[in-house]
Amino acid sequence: MQRSRLGAIALGTSALLGAALASPALAATDSEIPTFQQFHASTFKDVDQQYIVNGDEPVADTAQLRDFYDAMVGPSTQENGLVVNTVGGADDKWSTSQVGNLTYCVSTKFGSRYTDIVNTMASGAGLWEAASSKINFVYVPSQDSNCTTRNNNVLFSVEPVQTTQYIARAFFPSTPKRQRNVLVDDSIWTSGSWTPTNILGHELGHTLGFRHEHTRPEAGTCFEDNNWRPLTPYDSSSIMHYPQCNGTSDDLSMTSTDRQGAVALYGS
């Protein structure tokens, strides 16, 4: 989740390729599109050495960053419609059995905010659980004292981070276990109308496989890539749509279309 300043795109994470200048609709000339070397040099590298793109999405290594870049500068071919990430043309989603047992821990390193994060994770998860009874995030507090990506007793960890690059970031179902975490900066508590519950709800949407809604051509800006499949009609108010990318929600609330998308991917 990127920061918002006066409605402008926060230019962290390699400035979203110069505020998505790689999209032909936004690049005035080819010369405005950065080379891969320029893109690589300017992309933020997180505490676990993953690259962060699209505001809050991790990319494991330089090879995958190159794949991301190549997809970004290619022309958009999608015409329609919450959207699911795809890998090799297949939906990036959990199995029916796994989506009903999405176990996680919350690091005690959150200190005085530990209980707040526990409660906010529960409420953020509840947004998706209310949308589809197939989805079930399972908090395992017994693992909190050893809550890292190396803990194999949970599917993912929720850990604190100190950064100015994002408010929070997550992962996709296809992400390897060693990189499967939700990182949360303390600025989550001071993000204006973006409530902590909705911010973590947005990030947990990524953990379920959902992409940013604004990658769709209807948004007109912030194009990311074409590796997605439409689940619903375009929704500018989606919890997965950055308000600063021509979104029409100022608080990242979940919409009825978001709930329809969850049902479309995982069942009712």
Query: Per the structure block, which two tokens stand in for 41?
Result: 């040099």
The pLDDT value given to residue 216 = 94
- Is 45 within a domain? no
The pLDDT value given to residue 48 = 82
Mean pLDDT of all residues in 86-97: 96
- Is 195 within a domain? yes
The pLDDT value given to residue 33 = 64
Query: Average pLDDT over the chain, rounded to whole?
Result: 84
- Is 128 within a domain? yes
The yes-or-no verdict on residue 144 having pLDDT over 80 is yes
Strands 90-91 and 83-87: antiparallel
The pLDDT value given to residue 8 = 25
- Is 61 within a domain? no
Q: Report the range of poorest mean pLDDT among 5-9, 25-29, 172-176.
A: 5-9
Report the CATH number that the domain containing residue 105 is assigned in CATH.
3.40.390.10
The pLDDT value given to residue 1 = 67
The pLDDT value given to residue 4 = 40
Domain ranges, residue 245: 82-268
Mean pLDDT of all residues in 141-166: 97
The yes-or-no verdict on residue 34 having pLDDT over 50 is yes
- Is 26 within a domain? no
The yes-or-no verdict on residue 78 having pLDDT over 90 is no
Q: Judge contact between 212 and 238, C-beta under 8 A.
A: no
Mean pLDDT of all residues in 82-96: 95
The pLDDT value given to residue 53 = 81
Give the integer Cα–Cα distance in Å for 250 and 242: 9
pLDDT digits (tens, 9 = 90+) for 102-114: 999 999 999 999 9
Name the burial class of residue 146, with classes exposed (0-12), middle (13-18) and buried (19+) by CB atoms within 10 angstroms of its CB.
middle
Q: Report the range of poorest mean pLDDT among 51-60, 100-109, 207-216.
A: 51-60
The pLDDT value given to residue 51 = 85
Of residues 162 and 54, more confidence is placed in 162
Give the percent of the chain with pLDDT over 90: 68
Highest mean pLDDT among 7-11, 39-43, 108-112, 216-220: 108-112
User: Which residues neighbour 53 within 8 Å (Cβ) at sequence distance 6 or greater?
Assistant: 13, 14, 16, 43, 59, 65, 68, 224
- Is 4 within a domain? no
- Is 212 within a domain? yes
Number of domains in the chain: 1
